Amino acid sequence: MSRIRSRGVSALLVDQDGPENGWTGGQYSLYRVLLAVALVAVTAGIDPMVDPWDRPESHWWYAYPEVREGFQLAFVCLAIPLLLGWFDRVAAAIACVLTTCVSMDPFWVLLVNLLFAHAFTDSRPYGSIGAWGRIDPGGGWRRTRNNTAVAAFMTVRLLWLGPLSKVHDGNVELLAVFMAVPVIVVLSKSTLSQRVLAVPLLVICLVGWVGSAVSAFGVRESEVPVPELILLGALTLAIFDPALIPGRRGRHPEIVYYDGDCGLCHRTVRFLLAEDLHAHFRFAALQSDHFAEHVTEAEREGLADSVIVRTADGRLLQRSSAVVHLLFALGGLWRVLGSVLWCIPRPLRDFGYDVIARARKRLFQAPQGLCPLIPAELGARFLG
């Protein structure tokens, strides 16, 4: 009983037995960066003294320029550790308190909701400074189902009070349906049902996003409310499950060959180990016996000495094509990024890849061995 009491509020937000979702540490770090940008954009770009719904939501003392500038400087300072992933949960908790002290404007409270949920998220995901030097790239990090649901619950309430107020016109029954969605997500034990139930929340977010840009905030169509859109972008990711965008993978594992003497290649392998939830990739150095035995002399001609992918159907991909293929296979937000890269003409992609490849050994320290330093359980994924 004492153990349960000691967990406090965090026990409500941590689901030890929930099914796996599509969140990885690297994807969450992308969200964390966007949340840090939203913190600066909202506190600097949305004036809580000018309420778009004609309700007095702000504390009167915030109207003083000196007080306003002091708070804005504090928010910028708090955004830095949030951006870097270094004491970011502490920074998010402090930002929650300060933001509440400034205003109860719906946009500001929506920001508080997202910061509050982040403060109780597992620490040190891949991509944060706190994870640097860790032997296990992923570190066992995961985002729990309850954390996402709490963020969704508070967010739906704020959308209802703000941008969606012009849509529902006080319909209590409709509010009950919307508020029930995140509750069902918490209670549901089916991964499929959670992902299906997440769709209405994303639709609600999309309606609020479009409404904010057109009419809900009283702006002209020629004006783009950037802070609001950044905040709603962070909201979209907060309630989104990346598993809704599955990776494009074959039935059989694929092999990633990398330059064992290249620090950037080692970092690429660690990135894949952390972000590959399905253990789809196997790894081998270009200097390994496996590469010499399974890649013929004819195939080696013209191959770059960086990252090569042997696909499930036997093709060898290199340069930017290999990068796009890896992102597509990971799925989630990485597949979205891969789709953006895919839209760029391949000659232009390859040019950018070659620029980085030529400078990689000057920018990244050479590793001490052919294989990255990893836990024993990940060693089975490395081939001779």
Determine whether 161 is exposed, middle or buried from the number of CB atoms within 10 Å of its CB (0-12, 13-18, 19+): middle
Nearest to 287 by CA among 367, 180, 357: 367
Q: Which two tokens stand for residue 375?
A: 């836990």
- SS3 of 283, please? strand
Determine whether 380 is exposed, middle or buried from the number of CB atoms within 10 Å of its CB (0-12, 13-18, 19+): exposed
Nearest to 143 by CA among 277, 49, 43, 46: 277
Residue 233 has a pLDDT of: 82
Residue 165 has a pLDDT of: 53
User: Which residues make Cβ contacts (< 8 Å) with residue 81, sequence separation at least 6?
Assistant: 87, 88, 90, 91
Nearest to 319 by CA among 287, 276, 355, 361: 355
Residue 1 has a pLDDT of: 40
Alpha carbon distance 21, 27 (integer Å)? 12
| Strand ranges of the sheet holding 281-285, from the earlier edge strand across to the other edge | 281-285, 254-258, 307-310, 316-318
Phi-psi region of 121 (alpha: psi -120 to 50; beta: other; left: phi over 0): beta
User: Which residues make Cβ contacts (< 8 Å) with residue 383, sequence separation at least 6?
Assistant: 255, 282, 283, 284, 288, 290
Q: If residue 281 lies in a helix (H) or strand (E), which one and from where to where?
A: strand 281-285
Task: DSSP letter for 60, please.
Answer: G
- SS3 of 356, please? helix
Domain ranges of the chain: 2-243, 254-379
How would you write the pLDDT of the chain (384 residues) with one tens digit per residue?
Answer: 443 333 343 333 334 334 457 899 999 999 999 999 999 998 887 666 554 444 444 555 566 778 788 888 999 999 999 999 999 999 999 998 888 877 777 778 788 888 988 998 888 999 999 898 888 899 889 887 666 666 666 666 655 555 555 544 555 444 555 555 555 554 444 455 455 555 555 555 555 555 554 444 444 444 557 787 788 788 878 878 888 888 888 788 999 999 888 888 889 999 999 999 888 999 999 988 999 999 888 888 888 888 999 999 889 999 999 999 999 999 999 999 999 999 999 999 999 999 998 888 788 877 776 666 677 778 888 887
Longest dimension (CA), the chain: 75
- SS3 of 383, please? coil
Q: In the chain, count H helices and then E strands.
A: 18, 4
